[in-house]
Chains A and B, each alone.
Chain A
């Protein structure tokens, strides 16, 4: 390596790219990396790869991001130069920098070319044009696989903030297990007898225990049909956060058919997870068959995932392409087999919204709570709502609905 003078700079820039892409890389790491490269020498590209890998990557889910970043950054010097010029505070002059590779992670592309900051106003515009788009659903089932990578850093940051604050404090329910607890209400006989031996049996000190409390299983059913497409990306982030936050979560998406995506969403890296989901889901942004999908869920899944008092979160706008005559029946069955059912509807943010769509009218009598979900704020509100265990009565539903109407 003749040109040792530039190498530390390059490693530093590479470190900055990784940091911008979301890896926890600080100056300390960069110094370490420089030292490591000095120690290991640069025999080949592969050596450099694994040397930097050893320093920068410390979790399995960071590997993909590192891999892509490395290949983009260290392959093409021109891109490298551009990337560096982009990192200088003079951006805005040239926007024509080409994306590094077609398949490259969007998050990484944003990290390399952070000039495209205009995503936020665009988003606001989207919200305004929603009404007409949301009420027209396509008649044919669109069997296409959709690419998730079109998510910008600005959006991710916003979503991440909300997600970071989100712990979904679902009210804990009593289980039949016990733990040692000095202020417990029940006597732990085993511990008591054992404790009594310490004094040779002359004193029997009471040891106590109390019930373990635990969150109930959670099942999320999310509508990804055309009328919901503006929101589904955000909801997938939401579902990913929820799935990774706790155990016993099952996640399903539905448009014209129901898909179980729990396993994909268990993947820690949100990009990889969403990519897997988009590959497995066939009916992205197509029509909706809520009734058929609910039926599918009831017959094939409810007995498998709704055991042990699960809570159901249904995310849909209630606009159904097909006839809805069976929907009420299926919803009733679903409602009867879960502990509590929550309906999140993005259309609810309109003040005048009334459940006029036939589908919505069928769903409404069978939910315990009805909430809006259209922006990050409403997702955050959700967390407060979930921490209450409302009694499942007609009245509770009526008041929630009354407040809305």
Chain B
């Protein structure tokens, strides 16, 4: 367990301790959001490490991670709280058998915390001895506007009212991380309440240190070649560019295949790890891959 970072450098170290290589822009936004208690809104292509930030934060700060995966039609019942209906039914029947006819009593009985099923958003507001949890609202763009509106209300004062029970307010607001893949534009009203950061693809140097941290068994030469190849792929005209997650996957795959260096055949065989669209694969496979590989090797040789 650890205190919140007190400076931007501190934030960088914190993320570094969690094996996350961030650039200064991200560290600054994250620091501000932690310091001022505002949600952090992360947007970017798939596989650039948006969700990972929440994981790393919860690990390094020793806080509980509460994750809400968004999907279409996400409602209060699955995001906030739900009553345990079967148990409530039994309770009603038991009360009947015992001859309890006091409506008030029965009401307060079946709508008590015993029958309350807490979903992620409610869990995130509960007091926690390790400090307020990290609330990850993942892929917000997958849900629809009504949920967004609900979230707006929640993020304003971090309280949830359960009509049958009480209003629950967080003593200390959780650390909120919201991610979006931008398959839909999130409303400005919500964005306005957050610190926004766009996570792009990393430059070669940072990608290399990410790879060294995440796939240490890859070895220097292979890592450099992998990063060089992926970087040059991102300059190609592809439908879906490979993210950092793909780079890590590819490096681990190559390690599993006992490769120490890239060769055209291996690249062709494992291209499916990097590119996820058949058109993209068809475009790169074969001569194009060999050409890129030659380029990368020439650059590496020149740098040495």
Contact = CB atoms under 8 A, between A and B. Distances in A.
A41 interface: no
Contacts of B141: 307
A201 B184 contact: no
A280 to B, nearest CB: 18
Interface residues on B, range: 20 to 34
B107 interface: yes
Given A303-B182, A308-B183, A308-B184, 4 more contacts: A178-B75, A197-B106, A201-B92, A201-B93
Nearest to B88: A193
Given A177-B144, A198-B103, A299-B239, A304 B85 contact: no
Interface in B202-249: 239
A149 B83 CA distance: 60
B110 A193 contact: yes
Interface string A190-211: 1011101110111010000000
B146 interface: yes
A201 B72 contact: no
Interface of A: 175-178, 189-190, 192-194, 196-198, 200-202, 204, 247, 298-299, 303-305, 307-308, 329
A317 B101 CA distance: 74
28 contacts: A175-B72, A175-B73, A176-B73, A177-B75, A178-B75, A189-B83, A190-B83, A190-B85, A193-B83, A193-B88, A193-B89, A193-B92, A193-B110, A196-B92, A197-B106, A197-B110, A200-B100, A200-B103, A200-B106, A201-B95, A202-B96, A204-B89, A298-B239, A303-B181, A307-B183, A307-B184, A308-B72, A308-B183
B185 interface: yes
Top 10 nearest A-B pairs (CB, nearest first) are A176-B73, A307-B183, A201-B92, A189-B85, A200-B103, A307-B184, A197-B107, A200-B101, A177-B73, A193-B88
B258 interface: no
A167 B184 CA distance: 24
B164 interface: yes
Contact of B164 (A192, A194, A305): A194
A305 B185 CA distance: 8
Contacts of A177: 73, 75, 144, 146
